[in-house]
Amino acid sequence: MSTAPAAKTRKTVAKSVPAAKDSKAPKSAPVAKGRGKARQAEPSGGAAETERELTIAEEIDALTDPSFMTSLARGLAVIRAFSDSRRSLTIAQISQKTGIPRAAVRRCLHTLKQLGYADSDVNNFSLRPKILTLGYSYLSSTPLTVSAQPYLNNISRTLGESCSLAVLDDNEVLYVARSATSRVMSVALNTGSRLPAYCTSLGRAMLAHLPDEQLKAYFEKVKLRALTDKTVVSQKRLRDILAGVREQGYAVIDEELEVGLRSIAVPVRGASGNVLAALNVGAQAARVSVAQMEEEILPVLLRGAQELSVLLP
């Protein structure tokens, strides 16, 4: 298994904007909504230079490999446009988010609908449960998931709490294995689930060990949003917390992801010594205090992480 990927820095494109003929400032080049800020020079007598991020469509079109299938890449981009916060989207919204022409978006959605992966209600489209089969077949058979499951089951039985193993993927925590208890929590997590890295114990356990440049790139791309009134959204404070996590060897989240939920995580290193994954236990705050997590759960997690490390390269 490869190391946890660094936060991806999107490519930028510079566009020359003719100097304004009157006193008005030149308009900036269009920027895909939510995909970063454009930088433009102050108006002057010459041409103003505007730099913006490439849209997904532009990145796809820039690939010149004759074996590259543009239509497939566009279809995957349309699927990824949906998220937990935007489960229903119009053709126009997907086009704006990806930069893919509306006609192409319409054809992608029509194909997904015909194959049973998408559904529509008037002008709104949404993904159907069948879409899960695309990723679950990999996650359920990947060597790490299969090999780690017995270890997670043992930890869960020992502690009577849910236990998870995750990796960093595209700035998020990706759950690759999980052993859940029967207790009900509002955060429904399964193999393949994704959560923000900055406000989860799993994420912080891995972010704390990223090289400086990768961590810098992560903060440049990710917006820190408050999910509860306890969520840390200050980059400076979060950096200080990550430094502490790196020093002490574990991360604790106290109701920052969800009110009433606490969790503790430890990094899992491969044979190379690099942190490749993280292991955690989550519990209801009303039942388990932070002190209990550190005294009773942490030693079990540390042993589990050491055992799991033999599975990683």
3-state DSSP of 90-157: EHHHHHHHHCCCHHHHHHHHHHHHHCCCEEEECCEEEECHHHHHHHHHHHCCCHHHHHHHHHHHHHHH
**Residue numbers of the chain with a pLDDT score lower than 50:** 1-12, 14-49, 186
CATH fold of 140-311 reads Beta-Lactamase (3.30.450)
* Residue pointed to by tokens 């690759």: 176
Q: Which amino acid is at 50?
A: T
When the candidates are 3.30.465.10, 1.10.3720.10, 1.10.10.10, 3.40.640.10, the CATH number that belongs to 57-133 is 1.10.10.10
pLDDT at 282: 93
pLDDT at 272: 81
3 state SS for 237-279: HHHHHHHHHHHHCCEEEECCCCCCEEEEEEEEECCCCCEEEEE
pLDDT at 129: 77
pLDDT at 138: 63
Let me know the angle formed at the C-alpha of 84 by 81 and 89, rounded to the nearest 5 degrees. 45
pLDDT at 40: 44
pLDDT at 264: 98
What is the rounded distance in angstroms from the CA atom of residue 144 to the CA atom of residue 312? 8
pTM here is: 0.62
Q: Which structure tokens are listed for 99? A: 């930069």
pLDDT at 140: 59
pLDDT at 84: 58
Domain-by-domain residue ranges, the chain?
A: 57-133, 140-311
